Structure 1
Amino acid sequence: MFGCSDEGGIARVSAEVRDAWASDARRARLRAHDASDAGAIESRYEALRDGRAAPADPTAASPSTGDAETTWTSTSAPVALGRTHRIPSTVDTVAQGIFDPNAAPVATIDSGDVVVYENTWTHFSNRLQPGVSADALAAMRRAIPGRGVHSIIGPIFVRGAMPGDVLQLRMLRLETIDFGANFHNPGALVTGSLHAEFAHGHVRYFDLSADDGYVYFNDRIRLALKPFQGTLGVAPAGDVPVSSVAPGRFGGNIDLKDLTAGSSLFVPVTHPGALIFTGDSHAVQADGEVNITAIETGMREVRMQVIVHKNAGWTWPFAETPTHWIALGMDTHLNEALRIALRQTIAFLHERAGLTRDESYSLASIGVDFRVTQMVNVINGVHAMIPKEIFAPDYRSTISVA
């Protein structure tokens, strides 16, 4: 789309200490205190828990930011939170619109560690700001041929990650800044689904500071805020830097709106160390992202856990939410993107759920929804929504992406 401090974990604690941390009211008071680091409190609480079966803290998830989602919602094996690495957006950590596998890592982490991206930049190296005109945005776009508009943070080197492995990027918290923008370019730039029908560019800025969990399109239309990173993945195959515009097997600019707090993206690794990149923060987006942008914004904080799954066997990305497994397909042709997502769905149902290929093809047709992720990034996307609820609980517990 154009458009380090460490927090050590404690493996075992007494029941009294664990119960004190587990008190919803106690943690809520701690988080609210001016002198407290709310993120550190939640991370430490997660590290102290013996298991993941405890009910989620109802005060921990804000509908406007999707933050503090530390409950284990993946069907992969739980992994305790490791060290926390904080990465602010600066001229040393951000590149304009490019995934460069040759760039020096901005951090080196271990499997299980937590990455906190602080104060991520908006598009055009943080030059997307309220009041910037559509013409100015178009001029910025023209000024960076061969690159995306995204402010790309990275790479992060993951010790032990090797080609053939899969990296799980588990989203814990996403909190937006207080504004965002939706825009389309003038038709001459040939972007957006109907560029020939919109000769002039247009930009609309939105206030994201409301505390009710909504963004207001006007006084009669509101949309629930569902923050996510539009661009998230690892270095693509090869040694040549690539534009951040087109997604692929490495993830990248997939614009999957379901990657909110509590979800995971599973990405196949092609380089030693994986080399994680992210950017393109969104406040809310619809499937398709048809005019070329979501509500583009920055994040006060993106918090995610990184987990290496050895020799997991996938060559395309998968995602997982508390309610669905999601197979992704991407291609220049939308029909082929659907076929790729379908083949991945069949492989998942056959290899992970134990169905025959014929049964998998059948279930995909009657129980799995195929949706257009986006069709504005040169490479189009389709994602298959495999609902967990159709599997009996004991059966469901045996199925996982990795």
Structure 2
Amino acid sequence: MKTSRRHFLRRTGQRGLAALSVAALPAGASPLLTSQSPLPASPATAIKPDHVIRSLPENMVWGYFGADVPTVYTVKDGDVVEIQTVNPSGVSRTNPDEFYTKNNLPIDAHAKEVIAIMKNVKPEPSGIRGHMLTGPIYIDGAQPGDTLEIRILDLTFPAGFGVNSVWPGGGGIPDAVTSRETFVYRYDSKRRVAVLKEGVEIPLKPFMGVMALSPPPETGRVSSIPPAFFGGNLDIKHLTKGTTLFLPVSVPGGLFTTGDGHGAQGNGEVSGVAIETSLTLTARFIVHKGKTLKMPRAETPTHFIAVGLDKDLNKAMKNALTEAVTFMKEELGFTFNEALSIASTGVDFEVSQVVDQTLGVHAMIPKSIFTKRKFSYWT
């Protein structure tokens, strides 16, 4: 039995200075990138987008979603869109140049974009705070009750470093942190790793921490920090190049917004942030008419991903389990008891993050365990 993508969708209801300098890197290491030399794209990448949305102040929104937020661009159903984003982690609004000079990072073209954004993009007047985001983007044809499919075609780095921080009151053990410190991870161009210091190398696996549609109009403007049913700060590290995110549409055009790029992240994001980095997302938007989701879902070449969210981690786990069982019951035809048994014996439940007010658990449902089925996929 071949299960199509449309069947899959059916009925789914800051601041601190870096402790690391160039001199701290290991002698003889592979060339490390600076912000003058962004990490090269994969040789297989040959994607020509229909639209390019640049990381300019006029295309940014600082920290919130809402049905009344003016759109910066309109695209068509099926279009491929290149969306440039910035992640100014470690960069202050009052003196944005300071971060680059104190960390021996040149103020190149990308750094100038970040500085211009920090100087010119204003926070939300009511006091809502969150991430620096690109958007929102209006997808022609998307209407409430539809589902928007976001195919992640490529993710590239416009700068050769990322930033991680720890601070008192933040992360998974907030009372244990006694001082603020910011760490610069420099990227190795040959081996695609992020180097903290000699002997510490994190494989680069970039993904967008925030991908969201607008909440319904009656919700008003909301912070980008806690994730919700419309997406947002999901922080699911598996949403890399070649994967797909499905989000429910609540307003005309959907109003897609993205940012909070991550070079790599461990499940949990336990310091409070990942390797925060600017990323360029290239994605195809596909509208599924009348296909209604209650929660985000995702798909990789090897897994289906069901998402659970709640301020209580125990409830987030229960919600993820419920979503996984519902998916296997409604989409794959198993009984409730069969689906729960499969979830217990073949599905991994991972903590997405524990630091975003609303906590996340995602269920990794392997396609390989369903040996009599073939699942079509776009990659």
Residue 396 of structure 1, aligned match among 361, 374, 378: 374
Count of residue pairs the alignment pairs up: 318
- CA separation in 2, counterparts of 1:89 and 1:214? 25
Tell me how far 1:212 sits from its aligned partner.
1.3
2:252 match:
272
Superposed, 1:210-221 pairs within 5 Å as 210-221=189-200
2:50 match:
84
- CA separation in 2, counterparts of 1:162 and 1:335? 33
Tell me if the contact between 2:307 and 2:319 (Cα under 8 Å) persists in the aligned partners. yes
The structure-2 alpha-carbon separation of the partners of 1:130 and 1:366, relative to structure 1 and needing over 3 Å to count, comes to: farther
2:88 match:
122
Residue 318 of structure 1, aligned match among 297, 316, 319: 297
Tell me if the contact between 2:87 and 2:276 (Cα under 8 Å) persists in the aligned partners. no
Superposed, 1:3-402 pairs within 5 Å as 84-118=50-84, 120-123=86-89, 127=96, 129-130=99-100, 146-176=127-157, 177-185=159-167, 187=168, 190-239=169-218, 240-299=220-279, 301-392=280-371, 395-397=373-375
Tell me how far 1:397 sits from its aligned partner.
2.5
The structure-2 alpha-carbon separation of the partners of 1:114 and 1:149, relative to structure 1 and needing over 3 Å to count, comes to: same
Which structure's relative contact order is higher, taking Cα pairs within 8 Å and 6+ residues apart?
2
- CA separation in 1, counterparts of 2:236 and 2:193? 19
- CA separation in 1, counterparts of 2:256 and 2:327? 24
The aligned amino acid for 1:184 is V
Tell me how far 1:199 sits from its aligned partner.
2.1
- CA separation in 2, counterparts of 1:118 and 1:337? 31
Tell me if the contact between 1:169 and 1:305 (Cα under 8 Å) persists in the aligned partners. yes
Tell me how far 1:310 sits from its aligned partner.
1.7
- CA separation in 2, counterparts of 1:321 and 1:154? 25
Tell me how far 1:338 sits from its aligned partner.
0.9
Structure 1, unpaired ranges of 5+:
4-62, 71-80, 134-139
- 3-state SS in 2 of match to 1:163: coil
- CA separation in 1, counterparts of 2:342 and 2:263? 33
Per-residue displacement from partner, 1:236-274 (whole Å, max 9, x unpaired)?
A: 123411111110101100111111100111111111111
The aligned amino acid for 2:149 is Q
The structure-2 alpha-carbon separation of the partners of 1:119 and 1:331, relative to structure 1 and needing over 3 Å to count, comes to: closer
Structure 2, unpaired ranges of 5+:
1-13, 16-38, 104-118
- CA separation in 2, counterparts of 1:365 and 1:65? 39
Per-residue displacement from partner, 1:291-318 (whole Å, max 9, x unpaired)?
A: 101000102x210111111222321001
- CA separation in 2, counterparts of 1:155 and 1:125? 24
- CA separation in 1, counterparts of 2:88 and 2:44? 22
Tell me if the contact between 2:85 and 2:258 (Cα under 8 Å) persists in the aligned partners. no
Tell me how far 1:323 sits from its aligned partner.
1.1
Per-residue displacement from partner, 1:157-190 (whole Å, max 9, x unpaired)?
A: 11111111111111111111211100022x2xx3
Per-residue displacement from partner, 1:126-178 (whole Å, max 9, x unpaired)?
A: 84944669xxxxxx9xx989444411111111111111111111111111121
Tell me if the contact between 2:210 and 2:232 (Cα under 8 Å) persists in the aligned partners. yes
1:78 match:
none
Aligned residues: CA RMSD: 2.8
- CA separation in 2, counterparts of 1:209 and 1:122? 21
Tell me if the contact between 1:66 and 1:226 (Cα under 8 Å) persists in the aligned partners. no
The aligned amino acid for 1:178 is G
**TM-score under structure 1 normalisation?**
0.73
Tell me how far 1:396 sits from its aligned partner.
3.1
Name whichever of 329-338 and 200-209 sits farther off. Answer: 200-209
Tell me how far 1:232 sits from its aligned partner.
0.5
The aligned amino acid for 2:355 is V
Q: Percent identity?
A: 36
